[in-house]
Amino acid sequence: MKRNVLLYKGIPEQALQKLQAHFNVTYFDGINDNNKSAFLSALAETEGLIGASVKMDAEILEHAPKLKAASTISVGTDQYNLPYLAQRNIPLMHTPNVLNETTADTLFTLIMCTARRAVEMANMVREGRWTSSISEAHFGTDIHGKTLGIIGMGRIGYAIAKRAHLGFDMKIQYSNRSRKEEAEKDFNASYMDMASLLKTSDFVCVMTPLTPQTERLIGKNEFAMMKKSAIFINGSRGKVIDESALIDALTQGTIKAAGLDVFEVEPLPADSPLCKLDNAVVFPHIGSATAETRFNMVMCAVDNLINALNGDISKNCANKDLLK
């Protein structure tokens, strides 16, 4: 007899067919005020959950007494309360690795766009303000040969370091909970404390997960440590930085510029000062947003749920260490 699974995000037909081959699938196209009541009712018989971009807190999951596994179509797990799931012995599966290279491409695009003022200069052309040869007032900053400091040398951090060192001859230094010998061997990366990294890096790229320990990790004091010529890149989670402190740093010239793919509130409000600053390049959280990678993420999440409900959480379980 097939188990009941609840899908709360639209997925490609191929992935849906694979889910339906293994489970009885109930589908919700996102959760909103109009369907939330029906969603909560459907949770009563649900043994598996799969989806993304919806907060699945304890208040919601209390309606799912039969839940055996959840699978998020993301590498980030902040939509779920991991200790709560562990208390109920429910594994949360996620999709690391499949998006590493694509997200690293996005973050390095931010580095390049910000350093060369690409968005600002493109807008100048579009708006008809390019009326003479480019002057010093419009010069950008070199990337090659500079120092890149990475806070959080995980899989994506490593992929960014690879592009920077091998492609742009950049010096790599990093701050992390533990040493990453592979990065040190492959890219001659230097391991150091965060304060030293902030003071000496030309580019600072934050790639840490959002945890109680990393929330507001970068604020007024940290921006003040950076070089005035430093460019700050955030591809982790918006709440890892103090956004108002960043706005102040950009406005006051504490740092040169910032490139951001994530924000405290998403979508970023149109009246945010970040939208008006020429020295801020803002992307709409497109880190993994290519057709190929998003498809691979969905298929990975489907396989994760199939494996978990069959008792195999050996691969891609985000809270494995917390389970009983």
Q: Which amino acid is at 58?
A: A
DSSP sequence for 104-153: HHHHHHHHHHHHTTHHHHHHHHHTT---S---GGG-----TT-EEEEE--
H or E element at residue 169: none
From the candidates 13, 285, 292, 294, which is the catalytic residue?
285
Separation of alpha carbons 261 and 178, rounded Å: 26
In angstroms, the CA 40 to CA 303 distance is 25
Q: Are 250 and 258 in contact (CB under 8 A)?
A: yes
C-alpha pair distances (Å), 240 with each of 134, 141, 152, 161, 311 = 36, 26, 12, 20, 34
Interatomic CA distance for residues 67 and 148, integer angstroms: 44
| Residue 215 bears catalytic tag | no
Q: Distances in Å between the alpha carbon of 70 and those of 9, 15, 63?
A: 13, 16, 14
Marked catalytic residue, from 63, 266, 292, 294: 266
Tokens matching residue 65: 């007494």
Catalytic annotation present for 285: yes
Catalytic one of 237, 243, 264, 292 = 237
Longest Cα pair distance anywhere in the chain, in angstroms?
A: 73
Decide if 161 contacts 142 (C-beta within 8 A). Answer: no
What is the distance between the alpha carbons of residues 288 and 159, in angstroms, rounded to a whole number? 13
Among all residues, which ones are annotated catalytic?
237, 266, 285
